[in-house]
Chain A
Amino acid sequence: MPLTPPSRRDLLRTGSALAGAVALGACGGSVAGPAPKARATATPTAGAVHLLDQALVVEHTTLYAYSLGVQLFGAATAPLATSFRQHHLDHRDRLRSLIAGLGGTPTPARASYDVGTPPGDENGIISLVATLEEEAARAHYAALRQIADPAILQQLGSIMADEAQHSAALRTVLQQDPAPAAFVTA
């Protein structure tokens, strides 16, 4: 499915962009556990694939940002960055699997993304990835609001909460409030 790769500004607008998307057609039921397959009974609509693909592009963008600043992280923050990057690789793979399971074609990663001025020091890279993690959590929340299949919503919720945890950890490093609100909002 062709999608125009978004810039960082586009990502900031992801919530509203997702609002008009078509929800997954599906019935109830619960599937928990490690297997990330979409249920075979889910209706593979273009809208559902689009929502998951937007989430995948968010992961591509965040991975790109981490790769920009690998050498900038200090001894104390490098382990966090390494771990969080691996989490995003896992998210990417799961989203690809979900999209493929619905009959879609996952958007491949581009060579680069517009994430603003490249950071020049540790504080700069931490601020950048903290911002992107926050945006990723909000974007995934915006997407899951449109997803009717409980199993897929649960998978995306699991990723959304992980991005929220990354944000909390990075905000703590920046001496910012790690949990500034009682509810996630889009």
Chain B
Amino acid sequence: MEARPGRREALLRGGAVLAALAAGHVAEGADRVLAAGDDAALLSTLALLEDTAVYVYTAVAPRLVRAPLPGFGQPFLVHHRQHRDLLLRALRPLRASPPPTGKAHPDAVPSASGEDAAVAALLAVEGRLLGAQYAALAALGDQSLRVQVASMFGVDARHATVWRSASGQDPVPASFVTGP
């Protein structure tokens, strides 16, 4: 088994991840998680991805027009807000500074107008979350945190199914959910 990185190294790596996120770099969620290092950095990464989802849903949900899609935007947005808030609360006992949330993530929002672009953006953000959460299930050191992430993972997987179906894709393309 590969040794876990030292705490200082992990924090430095986590800091680098946060800096990349702040700069608006888009990487796959799993890569971000695996680079994060320790539980606090992992939770921060997941919280920022959920925060990105909140931003994307807020920006593109009004573009959903085909029934029943408009009815999904708001409740899924609420789910992501609840996930983000739970992750931020989970950070407190770790005495870690919360990541900056509520910021704009314009790179995650399509410039093209219309429903198809909106659905593609929502599927992309859900896919990044699924990859990050799947990686976190094995990377988090604390069992209770793994269980909390699993609880979000199962719900974000449902969201992805809805957006895949809306974009004409197989709603459940694989036997195992491991990412996008």
Residues of A at under 8 Å CB distance from B?
Answer: 27-32, 39, 41, 80, 83-84, 86-87, 90-91, 94, 137, 141, 144-145, 148, 150-151, 153-155, 157-162, 164-169, 172, 175, 177-179, 181-185
> B125-158, CB under 8 A of A: which get 1 and which 0?
0000010001101111101001100111111011
Contact (Cβ within 8 A) B158 A165: yes
Number of CB contacts from chain A to chain B under 8 A: 139
Contact (Cβ within 8 A) B141 A28: yes
Residues of A contacting B79 in the complex (Cβ-Cβ under 8 angstroms): 179, 182
Known: A29-B1, A183-B151. A161 touches B135 (CB 8 A): no
13 A-B residue pairs with Cβ-Cβ distance under 8 Å, sorted by A, are A29-B4, A31-B138, A32-B178, A80-B171, A83-B170, A90-B175, A162-B174, A164-B155, A165-B158, A168-B161, A169-B161, A179-B155, A183-B83
Q: Which A-chain residue is minimally distant from B157 (CB atoms)?
A: A161
Residues of B at under 8 Å CB distance from A?
Answer: 1-2, 4, 30, 34, 68, 72, 75-76, 78-79, 82-83, 86, 130, 134-135, 137-141, 143, 146-147, 150-155, 157-162, 165, 170-172, 174-178
What is the distance, in angstroms, from B19's C-beta to the closest C-beta of chain A?
23
Known: A32-B178, A165-B157, A165-B177. A160 touches B143 (CB 8 A): no
| CA distance in complex: A157, B134 (Å) | 8
Contact (Cβ within 8 A) A158 B177: yes
Contact (Cβ within 8 A) A184 B175: no
Known: A151-B138, A179-B155, A183-B152. A172 touches B175 (CB 8 A): no
Q: Looking at the complex, which one of B86, B150, B158, B159 makes contact with A144 (CB distance below 8 Å)?
A: B150
What is the distance, in angstroms, from B135's C-beta to the closest C-beta of chain A?
6
Contact (Cβ within 8 A) B150 A184: yes
Contact (Cβ within 8 A) B150 A32: no
Of all A-B residue pairs in the complex, the 10 with the closest CB atoms, nearest first, are A161-B177, A90-B175, A30-B138, A184-B154, A168-B158, A161-B157, A179-B158, A182-B79, A87-B175, A154-B137
